[in-house]
Amino acid sequence: MALTANNPFFTRSTLPYQLPPFASITDEHYRPAFLQGMTAQLAEVSAITGTADAPSFDNTLVALERSGQTLARVSEVFFNKSSSDSSDFTNDLEEELAPLLAAHADAIRLDPALYSRLAAVHEQRASLGLDAESLYLVERYFTEFTLAGAGLSDDNKQSLRDFNSRLSTLTTRFEKNLLADTNELALIIDDVAELDGLTEGEISAAAEAARERQLDGKYLISLVLPTSHPYLASLTDRGVRERLLAASRARGIRSDAAGAANDNRPLVIEITHLRAQRARLLGFDSHAAYVTADETAKTPGAVWDLLGRLAPAAARNARVEQVDLQAVVDAEGGGFELAAWDWAFYTEKVRRAKYDVDTAAMRPYFELESVLTNGVFYAANQLYGLTFTARPELVGWHPESRVFEVTTEDGTALGLYIGDFYTRDSKRGGAWMNALVSQSGLLGTNTTVVCNNLNVSKPAAGQPTLLTYDQVTTLFHEFGHALHGLLARATYPKFSGTNVYRDFVEFPSQVNEMWMLWPEVLANYARHYQTGEAMPQKLVDRIQASSAFNEGFLTSEYLAAALLDQAWHRIDADTVVTDVARFEAEALASVSLDNAAVPTRYASTYFAHTFSGGYDAGYYSYIWSEVLDADTVEWFRENGGLTRDNGDRFRDRLLGVGGTKDPLEAYRHWRGRDAELQPLLDRRGLNA
């Protein structure tokens, strides 16, 4: 009773910016808050449908937007915790909650009385005198409820509920299996000599990771989410490289006694089949058709046209690169055919030979604190006038999470930014952004709390955290999502922050990557951690000269994953796949991306984006958004680059819009036209 009465999720936090009171939250608070939150929201919806008053915008749409605040508070905290600091408790609770939350969502979206009221408001929307955002809210609700099955018969609704419940359980289990296998397959090294090629800091991080597992005297290399591990570019021992890549690719496919519990192959088959069946029930030929119907792409054909246009050129470029790499192997008397675990290592050799660029030599200039404060924060200050002030007295969800207050140049408070940058066994792979408190004028929440999670290996105490080139890119990327969450302004919770179409959500984050190498930004943060000297200009010039280098490989591995995602979700309800490996091989061969030396960025059994991360039939969105991103970079270059005027225009017309209007309409308002494809082709070296 005491836990229920004092549950911190039952009321708004009184901390600055409504920061969740992490110091007061215990495991025992989550389940009661979820159950009470669902019960309360259903009661609120019942009040909407039970009124005798005729449907109106206020008594239906606004009331619906006000509902579910307790559930939102606990969900935002719990699902961030279960991703970034999981435990047996969070794993068990998440699996218990998955079908309950799916049923709860269905109880609202499939409520015939609620749908009837939404339809009535939608029908009379033009005569209601609504502002643009309110009108768009009516249209989005009606579209989403219709696509969700609100108009189905009672029998079909029950079938839909069964599909949604089962899928929620399977996707949750997929994620937990992947985390377990990622931890269990981490590479254990006995002899430090096998780590030749790694930096002192990387070796220190491997020793620290081993010590955390009580493996004193050994070294542990944690796996990353993608197939290729960054250490493959540095490790000189070919056998260790092979073992590291094999461990990465073994996730979710082991059938031995040790790994059978984490076998994701049956889940992949069942998930895709259920999604196809559900799509048919909802009136679509495939899950891909169902998903894209409510994205900017609109059809899977449009997605396939773009990916299919890029794939042949990418595959061709990768083959050319492969010849160059094999030549180096042969010149050194290697006596072997280039394999997937050799690609990154020999790429660095060719990069050094062709462009005199050594990415490993950049790491002393990429110290985490400087990248964050003098790079990421600095660019945001120059563009948008934002200031980030450390608030060490405010507590995050983990001792390593750090809280910063965000204000505008006139001192107006925007909210809090929380960074959690280090990897740990309790954190899922990859990097991401979450919102813990979302802005909404309707709810009186005019500030936000956003967070970034990365997976950087933590060095031993006293050692600097030196980032790789790719990790710096990732930090700028994820911070772009955070900026979107901080700067977007909406009346309604539905449109807050990054609540936009899935195939547009990556656009702001990809745009923010451009500032990583922008001259004045790079000069401000890329300084040697020991001497303070700036990165030599000649090194910067060489980086830029080699910008299209290895793009054949990088584009091919990405497109292979995007096309594999599409292949899984273009199957119809009558198709039953029985062999995951064969399906993958045939799908990649059909688009000439079956080069053994260029594995797909994610194989199906560890493809978290599509089987547990909400990007199902939507992994194409990265390159779809990159069309806009590359076109945007051209605009900034043509209009003076890193200036407040440019930042204000981009904020006012794009970032600040949130989900309040069609994103392509917002893009045209900012750019003056639709995006052109040519800048992307130039960037990735995909011109004929």
The 10s digit of each residue's pLDDT in 223-233 is 999 999 999 99
Q: How is residue 467 annotated by DSSP?
A: P
To the nearest 10°, the Cα dihedral for 470, 559, 309, 546? 20
Q: Across the 688 residues of the chain, what is the mean pLDDT of every consecutive 10-residue run? A: 74 97 97 98 98 97 98 98 96 97 98 98 98 98 98 97 98 96 96 96 94 95 96 97 97 82 96 98 98 97 96 96 96 97 96 85 94 98 98 97 97 97 95 97 97 94 93 97 98 97 96 96 96 90 86 97 98 96 97 97 98 96 97 97 97 97 97 96 86
Best CA proximity match to 278, nearest among 178, 395, 156, 188: 156
pLDDT at 1: 43
pLDDT at residue 253, as a whole number = 95
Report pLDDT for 354: 86
**Residue 585: which residues within 8 A CB-CB, separation 6 or more?**
594
Integer Cα distance of 91 and 612 in angstroms:
14
Question: Taking the alpha carbons of 615, 619, 625, 626 in that order, is the dihedral positive or negative?
Answer: positive
Question: Residue 352: its pLDDT value, please?
Answer: 87
Question: What domains are there in the chain, each with its CATH number?
Answer: 16-150 (1.20.1050.40), 363-546 (1.10.1370.40)
- The whole-number pLDDT of residue 456 equals 95
DSSP E strands in 337-391: the ranges are: 387-390
Q: Which residues contact 685 (CB under 8 A, 6 or more apart)?
A: 317, 548, 551, 552
Burial of 665 (0-12, 13-18, 19+ CB in 10 A): exposed
Q: How far apart are CA 375 and CA 518, in angstroms?
A: 10
How far is the CA of 643 from the CAs of 133, 139, 385, 525, 635, in angstroms?
29, 36, 10, 18, 13
Question: Would you report the helix, strand and coil content of the chain in percent, each value rounded to 5?
Answer: 60, 5, 35
What does the pLDDT read at residue 120? 98
d(CA 331, CA 346): 12
Tell me the C-alpha distance between 221 and 204, whole Å.
Answer: 11
Cα separation values, 158 from 149, 281, 516, Å = 10, 11, 50
Catalytic machinery residues: 478
Helices 644-653 and 377-384 cross at an angle (nearest 10°) of 90
Which burial class, exposed, middle or buried, applies to 78 when counting CB atoms under 10 A from its CB (0-12, 13-18, 19+)?
Answer: buried
pLDDT digit string, tens, across residues 4-33: 668 999 999 999 999 999 999 999 999 999
Kindly report the pTM of this predicted structure: 0.94
